[in-house]
Amino acid sequence: MITLLTIFSSCASKQKAEPKTSIYDIKVIGLEGNPINLSDFKGKKILFVNVASKCGFTGQYEELQKLYDTYKDNLMIIGAPCNQFGSQESGTEEEIKTFCQRNYGVTFLMTEKLNVKGDQQHPLYTWLTKKELNGNSSTSVKWNFQKYLVDEEGKFVDYYYSTTNPLSKKITKHLTP
């Protein structure tokens, strides 16, 4: 006989699971060549975004900066320059930094250029896109400015395609205490 407890337990087991590995153990290098210690952001949500300077979505840098300015007490945004989609991020690290600061006033963190898909996929994006590691969802990065949200405890929350504006309620509903 099936009880409500059995049904509830079954449904609960399909909810988000604990990550198999900690995102805080992944090594990431910043745009200026210094390590970014993800564990420094325990207690904050982290929004990871693969970015590019010559993309139709590049204007989202402005909204990402507004999002960061609004929620920086509870949120870190980490942009990951990527040249895997239409070669839209072909610049050097210095060119990327200058472009982002000059055109959009970017103050949130930026990584060195990363591969977000394929055989050379960076371990950060392997974690973000593989359910076996993040405990929640398997995805693939479709284009520049795809976003991945991780909670204060390092658990995968959700991902958002490039067409989702950074200031969308889909994202901001997770950021208010």
Q: Which of 11, 55, 82, 100 is flagged as catalytic?
A: 55
Q: Is residue 55 annotated as part of the catalytic site, yes or no?
A: yes
- DSSP assignment of the chain equals ---HHHHHHHHHHTSPPPPSS-GGG--EEBTTS-EE-GGGGTTSEEEEEEE-TTSTTTTHHHHHHHHHHHHTTTEEEEEEE---STT---S-HHHHHHHHHHHH---SEEBSP---SSTT--HHHHHHH-HHHHSS------STT-EEEE-TTS-EEEEE-TTS-TTSHHHHTTT--
Mind telling me the catalytic residues? Answer: 55
